[in-house]
Amino acid sequence: MEEKVIQTAKEISIVAVLEAGRFIRGRFDNLDSYEEKDDYGDIVTEVDHLAEQIILNKIKHIFPSHQIRSEEAGDNQLQSDWLWLVDPLDGTNNFAIGFPAFSCSVTLMHRNEPVLAAIYEPMVDRLFVSSLNAGTICNLKPIVMEKNRNFKKATVAWIQGHKVQNEARAVKLRQHIDLNTKRMMRLWAPTLQWCMLAKGDLDGIILYNSEGEDLYSGMLMVKEAGGLVIDYEGRPFTGMSSEPYMIACHPDRKDYFLNLVQEGLN
């Protein structure tokens, strides 16, 4: 039963993110206005809402009893072992300023574990799909994270939650990473960074208290591509957390990144 649900969900997710992503692409660089969502710099546009409806309508039509938590629409409050996490436009700030780095992200969780994810980058027509124990593919080609043989210093992505802002502990760690790595990337579109890590374009991700609809799709992409996702103490990160602190990297780089984070926090 679970396998059938996941297979059907995969088909729906692919159709949904492709349709939503192509709609977003058609509206790129043609935005009249946007709204501030909070005091932390997060924004929302009409395009977010319209893309979200495209995705939600497809999920609800096939899985009306499933719980859904979506970036703009919120939680439908249904009780189910199955939970959909939808971020229709991850990277809204980028979209709003005409920077072509954003995605559509859909994740299916089963009993708080990610079992399926689809992420689509509309501006480069790149589709990532991953399902539990079935690997990660990019535009139908399997991808496996490889260790950078010429590694001396890391190219690392930093992801922090909107509410973290300039929390002293986060600033200290962020500065340490910036000063002790080759490059530190802050892209404003976390799912793209997770996909870059799965492809091997980045050496690692350090995430500081950033939970949301855009988190678990990327985690599954990395894990299924052979990557490691751990907390700051080196323990495997599983399930869901309202305040996640994690490191993601190639398994052979575990000690490097653990030492980097622990040095930055001490």
Instruction: Using alpha carbons, select from 92, 84, 212 the residue that is nearest to residue 159.
Output: 212
Chain-centre distance for alpha carbon 138 = 15
In single-letter form, the type of residue at position 79 comes to Q
Tell me, what DSSP letter sits at residue 237? Answer: P
Asked if 246 contacts 237 with a C-beta cutoff of 8 angstroms, the reply is yes
Integer Cα distance of 165 and 42 in angstroms: 12
Query: Percentage of residues in the chain with pLDDT exceeding 90?
Result: 90
* Residue 20 to residues 15, 39, 62, 71, Cα–Cα distance (Å): 9, 28, 17, 14
User: By mean pLDDT, which of 57-61, 117-121, 144-148, 163-167 is the weakest?
Assistant: 144-148
β-pairing, 183-185 with 155-160?
Answer: parallel
**In which band, very low, low, confident or very high, does the pLDDT at 35 lie, cut at 50, 70 and 90?**
confident
- Tokens in use for 119? 């992420």
Do 251 and 228 contact (CB within 8 A), yes or no? Answer: yes
Other CB atoms within 10 Å distance of the CB of residue 234:
14
Residue 117's nearest CA partner among 191, 202, 182, 26 is: 191
Q: How far apart are CA 21 and CA 6, in angstroms?
A: 22
Q: For the whole model, what pTM was predicted?
A: 0.95
CA 244 – CA 212 distance, rounded (Å):
10
pLDDT recorded at residue 149: 67
Residue 38 pLDDT > 90, yes or no?
A: no
Residue 15: the pLDDT is: 98
**List of domains in the chain:** 2-143 (3.30.540.10), 155-265 (3.40.190.80)
Instruction: Specify the pLDDT at position 224.
Output: 98
Please state the rounded mean pLDDT for residues 32-45: 78
pLDDT tens-digit series, residues 220-258: 999 999 999 999 999 999 999 999 999 999 999 999 999
Residue 211 clears pLDDT 90, i.e. is over it: yes
CA dist 262 and 232 (Å) reads: 7
What's the confidence (pLDDT) of residue 1? 63
From residue 224, alpha-carbon distances to 29, 99, 130, 200 in Å are: 34, 29, 7, 13
CB environment 51-78: b (16+ within 10 A), e (fewer): bbbbbbebbeeebeebbbbbbbeeebee
Note the pLDDT tens digit of each residue in 149-207.
Answer: 677 889 999 999 989 999 999 999 999 999 999 999 999 999 999 999 999 999 999 99
The reported pLDDT for the residue numbered 147 is 74
Query: If we measure between CA atoms, which residue out of 136, 119, 115 comes closest to residue 224?
Result: 136
Q: Are 34 and 44 in contact (CB under 8 A)?
A: yes
